Copies of this chain bind each other. A is one copy, B any other.
């Protein structure tokens, strides 16, 4: 049995880590049964067997793997008869680029407008940890990082232009069906919508259409998870 350690808030239905979502979707994509285990920021000792301080951590029998890209590659190599996450070696190389772009561009800038929403949904025992690490990262008090989230949305949305362009021509980043490249970007918006009610996109934005399609991917995994957390996407 595969076990996936997933970051949660005070409500364990709020699985909000963008990197854990990449793996949750990947496991569904490959049709591999697994158990998702709720984990909190401060429970570092539970990840010790993986040699990691952060999730996602995956346990498959006696094998522990950490880091989302390493886990995706492990799953692909270990279960080659299941549906592929990358399509081809070229596809894997380029999916790595999409993941890096998401990390460095989208993820980094998305964290500002939803920062206080994330803080609010944390388990009380995680709040000091989150405040200390994030205040160090941003160099200011949490409350001062983004005093007007609404005002930052236009510049954030502009960062998605490269994705928007391709969605004029294809349904998914990976083409006609989603794969790891789409899950990498989707993770950011599961993180966003699991913690915040601020709409990441305007309704008529082509990004909203992609997000709605992604919510239905893998038997509606994302849609059902948002509903279970009481964070229903707009219809």
Interface of A (DSSP majority class): helix
Q: Which of these, B92, B98, B105, B181, contacts A175 with CB under 8 Å?
A: B92
Among the stretches A51-59, A83-91, A124-132, A205-213, the one at the interface with B is: A83-91
Of A87, A179, A181, most B-chain CB atoms within 10 Å: A87
- Number of chain A residues whose Cβ lies closer than 8 Å to a Cβ of chain B: 32
Task: Give A146-174 interface residues, CB cut-off 8 Å to B.
Answer: 161-163, 165-166, 169-170, 172-174
Check A97/B163 contact, CB under 8 A, given A87-B88, A88-B87, A91-B87. yes
The answer to whether B174 touches A94, judged by C-beta atoms less than 8 angstroms apart, is yes
What separation, in Å, do the CA atoms of A24 and B71 have in the docked complex? Answer: 38
- Could you give, for residues 16-51 of chain A, a 1 whenever the CB lies within 8 Å of some chain B CB and a 0 otherwise? 000000000000000000000000000000000000
What are 11 A-B residue pairs whose CB atoms fall within 8 Å in the complex? A87-B88, A88-B90, A93-B175, A94-B94, A94-B173, A94-B175, A97-B98, A97-B166, A100-B162, A100-B163, A101-B101
